[in-house]
Amino acid sequence: MATLLESLRSHTTVVADTGDFESMRLYRPTDATTNPSLILKAVQQEQYRHLLERCVRAQPDAPTANLVDQLLVSFGREILSIVPGRVSTEVDARLSFNTSATIERARRLIGLYETEGFGRDRVLIKIASTWEGIQAARVLEAEGIRCNLTLLFSLVQAAACANAGVQLISPFVGRIYDWHKKQQGTNWNEEANAGANDPGVLSVSRIYAYYKAFGVATEIMGASFRNTGQILALAGCDLLTISPDLLAQLASVEGEVTARLTPASAAQSLTEAMPADEESFRFMLNEDAMASDKLAEGIRAFVADSRKLDSMIDALRGR
């Protein structure tokens, strides 16, 4: 009998959520995603530190931001030699509220990849799902630069991404689960909020139904999982990006996975189109305490790790 991981592949594209090359070789994902936290974790390991040191040696006097971009692309280049599909590389989260700077940084990352011999079809530029980030993605998509809008926690963000013609979105399952569990405290019932009833799973399911109802071509990639139950409850989603630990758990158990999200089931959901203007976006996002809290928190966390990465580079240069 097939393992749960093998069976899941028949319904959903499996993506590795890691900067660890060996995990990718082991679990054979189609695509891979990275973020500042994953890259920071990787370069602190002996087997990957050479990538950081090589970037600094090659351009010792370059601005720190340029060296970070080169490091991200160095990881991306190695990843693309392993996976057959795409790699997601993230724009500095400090630019999350600056549309023009996000566009400039994304163009630079794509230029670095093209210099390394990789076409735009193999790279997704990750951008936080702020209003400014989504508008940057609108411009980039028109230029043929495909984007992955991350830190997405609500239908209003997903609808704005669809309106902008974004290639892919990454709704975060586990962080939504975390927020609701913390809010309910001792009243939290794990069993009652598991599987299809998990608040993070419900959020992605609503986005999936909305996209199918309105014929949205944007891909949905569930992300940030806390357990395999969340993953299996979203079987049938376009893509799922999964950490090495959870990939290992799925690969260690035999069983058949049933698709939970299907176009047919989504067609039964009746929904109204979300407004596409900036004022409505900002108001509706603000009204959603969970989404606004987790978006802000996520940006702060990525910024903190980006600063740590900057410090590592500066330390290597003796600054």
Question: Where do the DSSP E strands lie in the chain?
Answer: 13-17, 31-33, 87-90, 123-128, 147-152, 168-171, 219-222, 239-242
- pLDDT tier at 125, thresholds 50, 70, 90: very high
The region, left, alpha or beta by phi > 0 then psi within -120 to 50, assigned to residue 123 is beta
Q: What is the pLDDT of residue 263?
A: 87
Kindly report, residue by residue over 155-173, the tens digit of the pLDDT: 999 999 999 999 999 999 9
The count of domains in the chain is 1
Q: Which domain holds residue 303?
A: 4-316
**Could you confirm whether 126 is annotated as catalytic?**
yes
Sign of CA dihedral 213, 219, 223, 227: positive
- Mean pLDDT, residues 230-253 taken together: 97
Residue 86 reports pLDDT greater than 80: yes
Which CATH number do you get for residue 102? 3.20.20.70
Kindly report, residue by residue over 259-268, the tens digit of the pLDDT: 999 988 776 6
Distance CA 73, CA 110 (A): 9
Kindly report, residue by residue over 167-216, the tens digit of the pLDDT: 999 999 999 999 999 999 999 999 999 999 999 999 999 999 999 989 99
Residue 318 reports pLDDT greater than 90: no
Residue 27 reports pLDDT greater than 70: yes
Rg (CA), the chain: 19
Kindly report the pTM of this predicted structure: 0.96
Mean per-residue pLDDT of the chain: 95
Torsion of CA 202, 206, 208, 210, to 10 degrees: 180
Kindly state the tokens that stand for 39.
């890259």
Residue 63 reports pLDDT greater than 80: yes
| Selected catalytic residue, list 126, 212, 294, 308 | 126
